Each structure stands twice: as structure tokens, then as C-alpha cells.
Amino acid sequence: MLLQDLFGLFSLSAFFMWGFLMAFFFNAFVYSLGVKRGTTLLLSSFVMMCSYTLSDYFFTWLSLKNSLYLNFALYDIATITALLCLYKIVKKTTQSFLYLIIGLSINTVFFALMHIDIYIYENKQHWWLWEAFLYTVNLVDITMIVALIVDRDILGLHKLKNAIRTLLNPSANSKVP
């Protein structure tokens, strides 16, 4: 059974839109308390909220061609670009920033693979890539929402990044966050 059969395509889309909206509202509240100012947290949650709102299934009628997966891949690339521009401006990020960049990159790869499979190879037969796409993209979206709200290294990606950095460059131990 497909996940979208259980919840419906529009229900999942609305859930993720609502999740990023709530993450933005929560971060606006935290920002108004004077916590985590001077970081990319509030702006990155705003960018994610805007991205997921603009790329909602409801607005697909704005697209020139009906290639849904390519549109989502392009939206994710634009969102990654906006987040990296924010990082260049603010120069101080939080724990959730890495989760957003990695999550959007994973989603972009899966959207591109689905576009190639369905629109270029014209595959209409259900196979394991479709299931992997469905569960991975939804799990990554939920992880990004949780990462924006709790702003912690929930999966240990920062520890993994620092371990890899130490293995590749032992002289620069823990000077870079």
C-alpha cells in the first residue's frame, strides 16, 4: 500500500506545509524572546516555509509543463541556493542548517530520478524506486521540520561531519564548528 493511498497526496502536502509554517512561527517566537538571534534559524525556517508553500500541489497549475518531479527538484535547488545565500550574509548557522541542506539535496536527487524514470524513460510500472522515493522524501521532510523546531543534532550528522573532517584533515581538529 502506498503512503499516499493512505493519507492522500494533498493531505501529505498540507501536512508538510503546516509543519514548516509551525516551525517558522515557533522560531519567530524564540527570536522574539531574544534567543538564537544572529543566526540563520529564523530566516531558514522562513525560506523553507515559503518554498514548501509555493511548491505545493495546489499551485502546480502555474507550471508551463506538467512535469511535477522536475518542478520539485528545481524548487529544492532554488531553496538550497537561497539558504546558502543566507549563510553567506549571516555567516552564523545553527544545528538545523546542515539538516536542511542535506535533506533538500536528498529530495532533489530523488525528484530528479523520478522525473527521469517517469518522463524520460516513460516507465509506468510500479517498482521499488517509487516506494523508496515516497518513504524517503516524506521521512526527510519530517526530519527537516523536527530539526527546525528542536534545533539539535538529532541524527548525529554534525558528529559524523566532524569525524570525517578529522579523518581527512587531522591538523584542523575541532576549530571549525
Burial state string for 84-96 with b = 16 or more CB within 10 A and e = fewer than 16: eebbeebeebbbb
* Residues 9-47: tens digit of each pLDDT: 557 888 899 999 999 999 999 999 988 777 889 999 999
C-alpha neighbours within 13 Å on the C-beta side of residue 55? 22
Higher per-residue confidence, 128 vs 7? 128
> pLDDT value at position 1?
42
Q: How far is CA 61 from each of CA 38, 40, 77, 118, rounded to the nearest angstrom?
A: 38, 32, 20, 19
What are the residue boundaries of the structural domains of the chain, listed by start?
7-168
The total of other beta-carbon atoms located within 10 Å of residue 5's CB is 8
Check: CB of residue 75 under 8 Å from CB of residue 50.
no
**pLDDT tens for each residue of 97-119:** 999 999 999 999 999 999 999 99
